[in-house]
Chain A
Amino acid sequence: MSLTQTLDSPVVDRDLDEATEPDLPWITIVWNDPVNLQTYVSWVFRSYFGFSRQKADRLMLLVHNEGRATVASGGREEMERHVEAMHDFGLWATLAKDDA
């Protein structure tokens, strides 16, 4: 993977997002942006959420391919903390009620 490769590199991964659990009412969503490097986004997911490399890479690719990925679900306050942490890292994240 090139050092300057960003999220816009074409990669095929159509897995459904398994981070969403239906019984939990709020979700943290990370949105695609043309700036952040794939290696950085994957590293953020691993270092902050403690995801495995496989899961972090899959979510990072989902962000690129689908424009967004749900990376966490749970209580509203917890999701607000996650969103703030993502903004610290410079990732574009929002929280929402999980009405899926």
Chain B
Amino acid sequence: MTPFRPGADGITVALAPYESALLADLARQLIELLEHRAAESPADLLYAQLGIGGPADPPLDPALARLLPDAYRGDQEAASEHRQLTELSLLDRKLTNARAVIDSLAGSAELTPAQVQSWLRTLTDLRLTLAARLQIETDDDEGIGDEAMLGVYDWLGYLQGTLIELIE
């Protein structure tokens, strides 16, 4: 069964109920991970709303570090300054996308163009997170660990590839 179909006004999600439940669960775990990072910044509320006042250092967790990479290589000062100005808003947008995926899984099966954008970004963030857990770091890595997690990683890639094919 194909996971997405072209619908009247957009793209129709055609996931099996257990697949929807799995994806929503993964999106919730992603939200938890991102919220944990956001909570580490004791930012002033106003600064947080402006998206500034973020942390100076990259996350220690390899998944978060990949989701929130340094904008400068080999220039710690510039990377740190940029992170403080941008990380909270980047986190916020990633959270918004993941919540949009959960909302659309619970609501109408039809995705608006904006929801498709959220889906593509969240599917990517989920794959990056799983790849970090599976220690997929180079092109030759096949992943170490849980077979089920590897299966989920491949399935998310299938979902993303199918969705891109439909919007092309």
Residues on A facing B (Cβ under 8 Å): 2-4, 6-8, 32-37, 39-40, 43, 64, 80, 83-84, 87-90, 92-96
Query: How far apart are the CA atoms of A88 and B90 in the complex, in Å?
Result: 7
User: Which residues of A sit under 8 angstroms from B162, Cβ to Cβ?
Assistant: 3
Query: How far apart are the CA atoms of A5 and B94 in the complex, in Å?
Result: 24
Known: A3-B157, A89-B124. A37 touches B72 (CB 8 A): no
Contact B66 A3 (CB under 8 A): no
User: Which residues of A sit under 8 angstroms from B99, Cβ to Cβ?
Assistant: none
Interface flags for B73-100 (1: CB within 8 Å of A; 0: not) read 1000000001000100010011000000
Known: A87-B90, A90-B128. A34 touches B72 (CB 8 A): no
User: Which residues of A sit under 8 angstroms from B120, Cβ to Cβ?
Assistant: 40, 43, 89
Query: How far apart are the CA atoms of A4 and B82 in the complex, in Å?
Result: 34
Contact A39 B165 (CB under 8 A): yes
User: Which residues of A sit under 8 angstroms from B158, Cβ to Cβ?
Assistant: 3-4
Query: How far apart are the CA atoms of A6 and B154 in the complex, in Å?
Result: 11
Contact B164 A90 (CB under 8 A): no
Contact A32 B124 (CB under 8 A): no
User: Is B67 on the interface with A (CB-CB < 8 A)?
Assistant: yes
- Greatest chain A CB density within 10 A among B71, B158, B165, B168 is at B71
Contact A94 B131 (CB under 8 A): no
- Greatest chain A CB density within 10 A among B86, B124, B140, B141 is at B124
Kindly count the residue-residue contacts between A and B in the assembled complex, taking CB atoms under 8 Å apart.
Answer: 87
User: Is B103 on the interface with A (CB-CB < 8 A)?
Assistant: no
Closest Cβ of chain B to A50, distance in Å, is: 15
Closest Cβ of chain A to B52, distance in Å, is: 13
Contact A90 B121 (CB under 8 A): yes
User: Which residues of A sit under 8 angstroms from B86, Cβ to Cβ?
Assistant: 80, 84
Contact A90 B131 (CB under 8 A): no
Contact B127 A35 (CB under 8 A): yes
User: Which residues of B sit under 8 angstroms from A3, Cβ to Cβ?
Assistant: 157-158, 161-162, 165
Contact A84 B71 (CB under 8 A): yes
User: Which residues of A sit under 8 angstroms from B94, Cβ to Cβ?
Assistant: 88
Contact A92 B72 (CB under 8 A): no
Contact A88 B93 (CB under 8 A): yes
Contact A80 B71 (CB under 8 A): yes
Contact A34 B137 (CB under 8 A): yes
User: Which residues of A sit under 8 angstroms from B167, Cβ to Cβ?
Assistant: 43
Residue of B nearest to A92 (CB): B69
Query: How far apart are the CA atoms of A86 and B13 in the complex, in Å?
Result: 26
User: Which residues of B sit under 8 angstroms from A64, Cβ to Cβ?
Assistant: 139
